Structure 1
Amino acid sequence: MKQTIAFFDFDGTITTRDTLFEIIRYQKGSGALYAGLLLLSPALVLFKLKLVSSHRMKEIFLRHFFKGAGVSAFREKCAAFCRDRLPALIRPGALEAIRSHQAQGHQVVVVTASAQDWVAPWCAAMNVTCIATQLEVKNERLTGNIQGLNCNGDEKVCRIRNEFNLEQFEDIFAYGDSSGDKPMLAIARTAQFKPFRN
């Protein structure tokens, strides 16, 4: 019997804010975040002008704030972030939609450009599958680089197809809020763009 699956973007769709900035704030403090934003503002301008890719921009931030961090301590803080801070950032409508899909027996998958480290613990608590960007680790420390590709745009669809045979699903839902979600929305029978903003 064919089943139903629902794909959700995370930042901006499920959450009200970009969680990269929030994980920096949680682990490093607001002062360090604002100082970093000021220091990295030239790169941010180039990113806004589309002269720097989202992959490259994310690595610039990761290197500045987390390069050399011990991965065990980093992941422990990410898990604490999911428990302590993330619930306040979740859109009620998104939470209701996830639970509605689950109540109907649908499989729910978060597909996000954010790092798995600070999204997967929340997904596990919600009984939701997590497909996310992977951070590179060498000698038990973060390098500040992304392992493979940033899970955004066409890469979201590539990751989905690597995990699932979409022909097995009778219906496919997708929820997103940015241009980086449009390829994922395009594979769904029922696609919603910025659906939880009320």
Structure 2
Amino acid sequence: MLEAGPLDAKVLSVFDFDGTLTHHDSFVPFLKFAFGKGEFCLRMMKLAVPGLRFLVRQISRDELKAQLIRTFMTGVEKAWVQQQAQEYCQRYWTKLMRPSGLQSVADEMKSGAVVTLCSASPALVLQPFADRLGIKLIGTELEVIDGVLTGKLTGNNCRCENKVLRLETVYGDLGEYRLRAWGDTRGDRELLAAAQDAHFRHFHTKKKRSKQR
């Protein structure tokens, strides 16, 4: 855990997105929405073997994520993904977002804290959600060349220790802040450990929270 910083330290409030502010993962449902059910199923079939390899721990979660990105995002125009992300946000906002999470974001903003999303999901997909919330966004970056996605990541998947590293890149020395953080999975552990005020599965119901421990 970091030191609390100066008494007058600025508060930095960091929210994970999938499963924390949302009821469930958002990226795979986005792919199904954007590509359509038929094309989505065809492409997911290509991930059957990598999926099995992940289950038997032959490849890591990050390696499986990289293959998912390659399968769906190689050769796709950035502008098209942005348009689909905007439509996805508009159509599924109410169904996807946790009301208690939205209220917490609003409360943090009202308090004067610097508020940001920090997510492993592609920033390109989450940008409309961050814009609607009115907060900053740190997410996994997809490589784009001449307006077209290459299917590769720029930098590392934004999870685990990389969440803290990305926060430091954007905001500098985190010891200068009072860090508050919300997360719900193993991928948020380092972020929560770095915070003076950490909240694990804070917006989950007590019944569901107890089952997942």
For the aligned pair, the TM-score class normalised by the smaller chain equals over 0.9
Aligned residue for 1:84? 91
Aligned counterpart, 1:121? 128
Question: How many Å separate the matches in 2 of 1:137 and 1:3?
Answer: 34
Q: Deviations over 1:115-148 (max 9, x none)?
A: 0111122112211110010001123211111111
1:21-62 deviations in Å (ceiling 9; x for gaps): 111011112233334333312211222333222222122112
Q: Aligned partner of 1:166: which letter?
A: L
Question: Counterpart of 1:47 in structure 2: which amino acid?
Answer: F
Shift of 1:196: 1.0
Q: Is the 8 A contact 1:109 1:128 kept in 2?
A: yes
Q: Does 1:61 align with 2:68?
A: yes
Report how many aligned residue pairs link the two structures.
197
Matches of 1:91 and 1:176 in 2, distance apart?
13
Length-normalised TM-score, structure 2: 0.86
Deviation, 1:66, is 2.3
**Inter-partner Cα distance in structure 1 for 2:52 and 2:98:** 29
- One-letter code aligned to 1:137: V
Give the SS at the match of 2:29: helix
The amino acid that maps onto 1:56 is: E
Letter in 2 for 1:168: E
The secondary structure found in structure 1 opposite 2:175 is helix
For the structure 1 residues 49 and 91, does the alpha-carbon distance in structure 2 shift closer, same or farther, using more than 3 Å as the test? farther
Deviates more, 1:39-48 or 1:104-113: 39-48
Residue 41 of structure 1, aligned match among 41, 48, 53: 48
Corresponding residue for residue 39 of structure 2: 32
Question: Which residue number in structure 2 is paired with residue 167 of structure 1?
Answer: 175
Gaps of 5+ in 1: none
Distance 1:4 1:113 in 2: 22
What's 2:30 paired with? 23
SS at 1:109's partner residue?
A: strand
RMSD: 1.6
- Check if 1:157 corresponds to 2:164: yes
Give the corresponding residue for 2:110: 103
2:70 alignment partner AA: R
The match for 1:6 is: 13
Greater displacement, 48-57 / 145-154:
48-57
Alignment match of 2:58 (pick from 51, 58, 77): 51
Q: Percent identity of the aligned residues?
A: 27
Please state how far the C-alpha of 1:180 moved relative to its aligned partner: 0.8
Report the counterpart of residue 208 of structure 2 in structure 1.
none
Q: Which amino acid aligns with 2:71?
A: H
Name the structure 2 match of 1:177.
Answer: 184
**Poorly superposed stretches of 4+, deviation over 6 Å:** none
